[in-house]
Structure 1
Amino acid sequence: MLKPTLSRTVLATLISTGMLAFAAPALAAPATKASAASAAGGDVLPFKATEKTLPNGLKIIVVPTGFPNLVSVHIPVQTGSRNEVEPGKSGFAHFFEHMMFRGTPTYPPEKYQEIITRAGARQNAYTSDDLTNYYTTFAKEDLETVLKVEADRFQNLSYPVEAFKTESRAVLGEYNKNSANPMQKLFETQREAAFSTHTYRHTTMGFLKDIEDMPNQYEYSKVFFDRWYRPERTTVIIAGDVEPAKAVAMVEKYWGAWRRGSFKSNVPVEPAPKGAQYRHVAWQTPTLPLVTVAFRAPAFSDTQKDQAALSMLLSLSFGRTSPLYKRLVQDEQKVDQLFDFVPNRVDPTLATIGARVKKPADALYVRDAILQTVAKLRDEPVTSARLADAKSANKYGLIRSLDNTEAIASTLASYVHFDRSFGTLNRYYRVVDSLTPADLQAAARKYLVDDSMVVTTLSHEALPAGIQTLPKLADLAPAAALSDARFDVLVQKSALPQIRFKLLFAAGSAHDPKGKEGLAALTAAMVASSGSRERKIDEVTKALFPLAGSFTEQTDKEMTTFTGTTHKDNWDQYLGIALPLLVEPGFREEDFRRLKDAQKNALVLDLKDNNEEEFGKERLQANVFAGTPYGHPVLGTVKGIESITLDDVRNFYRQAYTQGAVRVGISGDVSDRMVASLKAALARLPGGNGLAATPAIRGRMPNGLEVEIIEKNTRATAISFGLPLEVTRSHPDFPALWLAKTWLGEHRASSARLYQRIREERGMNYGDYAYIEAFPRGMFQFFPSPNLGRKAQLFEVWIRPVAPQNSHFALRAALFELDKLLANGLSQQDFETTRGYLEKNVFVMTATQDQQLGYALDSQWYRTPEFTRMMREGLQKLTVADVNAAIRKHLSSKNLSVVMITRDAAGLKEKLVSDAFSPISYDAKKPQALLDEDQQIGSMKLGIRPEAVRITPASAAFAE
């Protein structure tokens, strides 16, 4: 079931723990002749697919999507943490997600990356409980090349013990990265309580003790790969601008010789549960309490109703349209997150209901409210109308997500891998469509039972007495049940039935009044999430639910953007529900209290307490732009948020959201009538030109290395450094600096220099990237969101968390590489390779409907040509001399603002100001040239003055 309403924090945690993965493997389908399967009546996929199973068992699925220029290849392998059956060997499925990028004799890592870069491709992989999926999106002319190199690495993966040990340290770094999030530990604890035998007992990352022992498991890694990476467990999905017959022939050519395996899976069967269980996690640092209630859930099926029925039931009962959500989140405001999750899995798994509680004293109350709702579900069926609305939301929600080739291929991979069939998703949605209220009630009675219940809590402070005593569900059951405005509208006409519009207002956190930092963000949240004058927010949510429609906000420094989306069939109904949120906001006191608390929690908990990486990046921004309107986070400061009143929100709204302050864009299968109705709705906005423009923004150039060390009780050390830039998209040097930062540290690109030198060769952390534009929420996204336009930017290097003993060396290593770039510039070959990559990749990064519309509005704001055309033309005119001149003009390795978040702040300061030698040690043997370079880096003099280093307690950051 689709879960569009999970918060970003919950969503990211479910992904990182392997809870929210993309379904799981079943038996391979028998070999058949190539066949074309078209979407039958009632099917949700509007595509024709060509399927073929090769003699070796490999399955091929080719799907022309109708989107031009791009192809996305997804290769789901029926191998996940479920397959880690030997004690002490957990985490290897995820580990091979990493090792598969280590190369072959024919295509060693550097040659492989060179080919991928030439294709202008972006690639990645993920591992879940039941599968590992590798995916690459690229220009269509490179399809044969990509299939060739992918076939080689699946059949001929080769890595020395040194590379194995280096990557094992990077995997530990990934675990360390996740360790700051309390939900990670809660879900680990939940699984260990729920499962005694089955391999779902551990998350995808594996047990920490097994991860720490990975450097000693080189020989076993070969065994694991030989067992599970076989053609009969693998599907090659090719989607996009592709000719099926040619694509199938290419796969046969390069993959046909891959030999079938013989290993038989022996995943242990979990015995029946023996009674309700309770587990508690004592969290060492301040955080809001978490409460989860889980039950044993059925395995995924596209023929039986149980799993689909349970998922639908919990979504209706605990989602944003549910009475409990209205009660706990909106009315009583005891909870700021309420979610449910019934994953698609090969074997019986867990269905989870979770809540983040604002006060420890309310944890018992919230737990019992959840259990009371569960008890009621077994006796009172949902209404037919609510179920029909939920089915409609599922249908339109899926269609809404299929707005680009990569999304289509990704959705297919999440269902195809079960039994390697294109039809799985269509069959599953037919099961969903057949559900009745009786089916949902039957699922409740079968699965929501005392014996399979696992309640897990997490808190820093003590929870109410009695929370460890679990009541019987029967005891909790209810007794009765034992005008036309002159707007210029940018229209992007396409065949997509999903309509998307954006309303970009010239109002952001740079307009926050002094002492009211966070007002712009809170006002936007009130508009999007506090209802309209006629409808409370729960009524809005219920009305939008069957339409799978949404109306969301994004606030940045200079702009606030509202994005609406719905299927074209529902346009009139949707517009009457969503647009009153903007033009007739409700601004109720109870919503104000709820959203104000949520914003403060997002700043203090989600950013500062639970996320050192984003915390460090935000702090760097604040330091670089201190004393300017950009000098505080978009979320505001603790004191600023606390001082905001509802009257402040009303006044900001009246001044900011006017007809003269908005840019409008709409895309999809848009009619003239739709455009006219949108303009008429916006004509009800107040007149006027909006807020006064912000002044020119200029950040402060550091004098030498200026360091702020944030002292925080954390396992790893996060590092960010940078300097202000006058270069924005409207500056003539923008393409040159874009190319330079791409070579140095493209976001999540393993071919970039910093990534190769720090992460790949030394295995120090999870990744190292560079930017010339702010990239908020970068750890959650592959590409930056549109509509983050700013009058001033910063050059930034993000060093993802490293072991504390390596933090001094990591800073030196990054500065060492930056210094070499400034001194030597790019070579002609590096220049041409990076430019070729960017000329193609610019299409990948703007592939979705949302990106295309957002970038078009950004181009209006910057007064530049359309982004892809501007970048391609700018890149084509560049020379390597232009790039190297721009590097020397705008960048520095000597004058930088640095932020480091670590536990031992005083010890780190002593190392920095003494310029002490920073050693580094490895688990694996390294080339002598690298060791020699380590000595050079470790001895590198940074010249940091004692007075240029300040230590700030984490609690004091962004306080006021």
Structure 2
Amino acid sequence: MRSLWAIGLALLLGSAQAALTDVTLDNGMRVIVHEDRRAPVMVSQVWYRAGSMDEFNGTTGVAHVLEHMMFKGTKNVPPGEFSKRIAAAGGRENAFTSRDYTAYFQQMQKDRLALSMQLEADRMANLVISDELFAKEIQVVMEERRLRTDDQPQSVLVERLMATAYQAHPYRRPIIGWMDDLQNMTAQDARDWYARWYAPNNATLVVAGDVKADEVIALAKQYFSALPAGALPERRPQAEPAQVGVKRIVVKASAQLPYLLMAWHAPTLKDWAQDTTPYALQILAGVLSGNDSARLQTSLVKMQQIAVNASAGYDAVSRGPGMFMIDATPAPGKSVDTLEKAIRNELERVQREGISEAELARVKAQVIAADVYQRDSLFYQAMQLGEYVTAGLPPAALAGRVGKLRAVTAAEVQAAAQQWLQDDRLSVAELDPQPLDAQPARANVPGVRHAN
């Protein structure tokens, strides 16, 4: 019987045979095409290298607000018509904003790619941001903040922890923005953001699916080449000062259970061919959580019954600095302090004793299998390419990711835990649950889906 490792590697090698084309148009727009002929569909994504980390105090959330406004019409396409045309062609579309980028996508039959490019090129250059439509949409965004952050105690804790853990770096600001900034934002703020960052030389077009690279490149030239490059602002380094001791906060919010969040400053992938620590930290996250036999689940939830859940997470790919995070909810009758001590004991055990070769092999198989199965989706093939190149990494870094993970040693995992999971890099946030007060019902805001 073939092992999961062998099966995953075979799938990966088969996926790697798909052709990848990476070109840059004369106006600076990058075009990446990943050919995958398993189904007659395609996904097209336009990535702008502008996210919340590029914002200024006083206008936090403007990147996300502009994402909303991108669907509100251009000189050529009336408000709401963009989505209607995609739907009429049998496709689906949406967008998302992060700390590092804003991206827009369509999933359609392969023969409708021209429509996708035509519409994206139009709103890259011809967006109309009227005061009237902005006034309506900013209300939608504020309600979105209330629903997804203000009314979610764990989300509030994460937001406050980020504002504490980062002293200077713009990652300390929430992607959706502070409410006060949203309340005082104007249509001109959105227009300024659009003029500053929405240009072909700050964008990457990623197309994946049953397409031919030369035809995609020809369409990209047809629709985007006429758009002039913009004079992009200078991006200055925004290094985070070294932390000099543990930071702790307690957040009081209406909630049923307490909650613990621990975050350590950690490196991200910069030189993919030479870096080893980010890959070791990915394996460490898998050692600590990810399945029923992982250390946090086994020790804290099953054996000691101190927690009802516990997990670790780490993202190696970003434009800015990274965080290695552990979150957990204490079991009834157990304190957050007891839970934190138990987590620390597990980390100290890895730092002191390391991990076994069998444990390393199991986690590698799990991480690699997840990577392979994710690549089975056209959307995530394009998504990963967009994330990597927007972070300044070449497509080769994505193609080589599995090989780098396979090369991680137990000693490297132990060394990464020893070096990075130290108190001088740590911020701790505790949710102190307050009585659940009855919340008055709010009127529905068009465009926002209310939680039940």
User: TM-score, with normalisation over the residues of structure 2?
Assistant: 0.90
Offset at residue 393 of structure 1 (A):
1.7
Correspondence for 1:173: 143
Equivalent residues of 1:43, 1:426 under 8 A apart: no
Unaligned runs of 5+ in 2: 1-9
CA distance in 2, matches of 1:449, 1:44: 39
Which residue of 390, 400, 408 maps to 1:435? 408
What pairs with 1:265-344 in structure 2 (closer than 5 Å)? Answer: 265-266=235-236, 268-284=238-254, 286-301=255-270, 302-303=272-273, 304-320=275-291, 321-343=293-315, 344=317
The 1:276/1:110 distance shift into structure 2, 3 A limit, reads: closer
In structure 2, the CA distance between the partners of 1:713 and 1:252, relative to structure 1 (3 Å rule), is: same
**Is the alpha carbon distance of 1:96 and 1:131 closer, same or farther for their aligned partners in structure 2, counting shifts above 3 Å?**
same
Q: Provide the rounded CA distance (Å) in 1 between the counterparts of 2:307 and 2:385.
A: 35
Q: Show the counterpart of 2:43.
A: 72
Of residues 366, 369, 391, the one that matches 1:393 is 366
Bigger radius of gyration: 1
Greater relative contact order, per chain length (Cα 8 Å cut-off, separation 6+):
2
Out of 189, 195, 198, which is 2:160 matched to?
189
1:60 partner amino acid? V
1:184-263 aligned at under 5 Å gives the runs: 184-214=155-185, 217-262=186-231, 263=233
Aligned residue pairs, count? 437
Alignment of 1:157 with 2:149, yes or no, is: no
Following TM superposition, where does structure 1 have runs of at least 4 consecutive aligned residues deviating by more than 6 angstroms?
A: 41-44
- 1:378 and 1:766 map into 2 onto residues whose CA distance is 49
Q: Which residue of 2 aligns with 1:383?
A: 356
Q: What is the CA-CA distance between 1:355 and the residue it aligns to?
A: 0.2
Structure 1 position 461, deviation (Å) = 5.5
d(CA) in 2 for partners of 1:140, 1:42:
24
Deviation at 1:445, TM superposition (A): 2.2
Are residues 1:422 and 2:395 paired?
A: yes
Is 1:122 matched up with 2:92?
yes
What letter corresponds to residue 713 of structure 1 in structure 2? A
Q: Is 1:101–2:71 an aligned residue pair?
A: yes
Residue from 88, 93, 99 that aligns with 2:58:
88
Tell whether the 8 Å contact from 2:281 to 2:416 is kept in structure 1 after alignment.
yes
> Which of residues 708, 714, 718 in structure 1 aligns to 2:439?
714
How many percent identity over aligned positions?
Answer: 27
- Whether contact under 8 Å (1:287, 1:459) holds in the other structure is no
What does residue 147 of structure 1 align with? Answer: 117
CA distance in 1, matches of 2:15, 2:387: 15
User: 2-side partners of 1:419 and 1:121: how far apart?
Assistant: 30
- AA paired with 1:330? K
Q: Distance in 2 between matches of 1:275 and 1:73?
A: 45
1:358 alignment partner in structure 2: 331
Where does residue 767 of structure 1 map in the other structure?
448
SS in 1 for 2:358: helix
Supply the AA of the counterpart residue of 2:310.
L
Of 377, 383, 390, 1:410 maps to 383
Residue 137 of structure 1: which of 103, 107, 113 is its match? Answer: 107
In the alignment, the residues of structure 1 paired with residue 162 and residue 409 of structure 2 have an alpha-carbon distance, to the nearest angstrom, of 31
CA contact (8 A) 2:134 2:187 kept: yes
Aligned partners of 2:439, 2:384: CA distance in 1, in Å?
36
In structure 2, relative to structure 1, the CA distance for the partners of 1:275 and 1:765 (3 Å cut) is: farther
Work out the CA distance in 2 between the residues paired with 1:323 and 1:316.
6
The corresponding residue for 1:62 is: 33
Residue aligned with 2:353, SS: coil
**Pair 158,458 (structure 1): closer, same or farther in 2 beyond 3 Å:** same
Q: Against the structure 1 CA distance between its residues 209 and 43, is the aligned structure 2 distance closer, same or farther, given a 3 Å change threshold? A: farther
Pairing 1:494-533 to 2, within 5 Å after superposition: none
Code of the aligned partner of 1:152: D
Which SS does the other structure have where 1:63 is aligned? strand
**Is the CA contact (8 Å cut-off) linking 2:265 and 2:420 kept in structure 1?**
yes
Matched residue, 1:371: 344
Paired residue type of 1:132: T
Q: Take 1:349 and 1:405, find their aligned partners in 2: how far apart are those partners?
A: 27
Aligned-pair CA distance for 1:334: 2.9
For residues 391-412 of structure 1, give each alpha carbon's deviation from its aligned partner in whole angstroms, at most 9, with x where no partner exists: 2222221222233433332333
Opposite residue 128 of structure 2, the aligned amino acid is: S
* Separation in 2, partners of 1:420, 1:318: 27
Instruction: Report 1:314-713 matches (<5 A).
Output: 314-320=285-291, 321-343=293-315, 344-359=317-332, 361-419=334-392, 421-460=394-433, 713=438
Task: Give the AA of the match of 1:258.
Answer: L
- CA shift at 1:167, angstroms? 1.2
CA–CA separation in structure 1 for the residues paired with 2:306 and 2:207: 47
Output the CA distance in 2 between the equivalents of 1:395 and 1:69.
Answer: 27
AA of the residue aligned to 1:221: A
Partner Cα separation in structure 1 for residue 13 and residue 357 of structure 2: 20
Q: Please state how far the C-alpha of 1:315 moved relative to its aligned partner.
A: 2.2
Instruction: After TM superposition, give the deviation of residue 715 of structure 1 in Å.
Output: 6.5
TM-superposition CA deviations, 1:190-212 (whole Å, max 9, x none)? 11111111101022112222122
Note the aligned Cα RMSD (angstroms). Answer: 2.4
Q: Deviations over 1:37-90 (max 9, x none)?
A: xx9x96964421122111211111112211333111011221111111x22121
The separation in 2 between residues aligned to 1:357 and 1:440, in whole angstroms, is 27
Distance, in Å, in 2 between the alignment partners of 1:276 and 1:43 is 47
Q: Secondary structure at the match of 2:335?
A: helix
Q: Is the 8 A contact 2:72 2:80 kept in 1?
A: no
Cα deviations by residue, 1:471-503 (Å, 9 ceiling, x for unpaired): xxxxxxxxxxxxxxxxxxxxxxxxxxxxxxxxx
**Partner Cα distance (1:316, 1:293) in 2:** 17
- Structure 1, unmatched stretches of 5+, are 1-38, 463-608, 610-711, 720-763, 769-799, 802-900, 902-960
- The C-alpha deviation readout for 1:898-948, integer Å capped at 9, x for no partner, is xxx8xxxxxxxxxxxxxxxxxxxxxxxxxxxxxxxxxxxxxxxxxxxxxxx
Preserved CA contact (<8 Å) 1:62 1:237: yes
1:47 pairs with 2:18: yes
Assess, with a 3 A threshold, how the Cα gap between structure 1 residues 366 and 437 changes in structure 2: closer, same or farther: same
SS of equivalent residue, structure 1 residue 379: helix
Name the TM-score, length of structure 1 as normaliser. 0.44
Rounded Cα–Cα distance in structure 1 between residues aligned with 2:16 and 2:392: 17
Match of 2:28, SS state, is: coil
Amino acid at match of 1:340: A
Q: Summarize deviations over 1:349-392 as a string: whole Å, max 9, x none.
A: 22110101232543211110111222233222222232222222
Structure 2: distance between partners of 1:455 and 1:717: 33
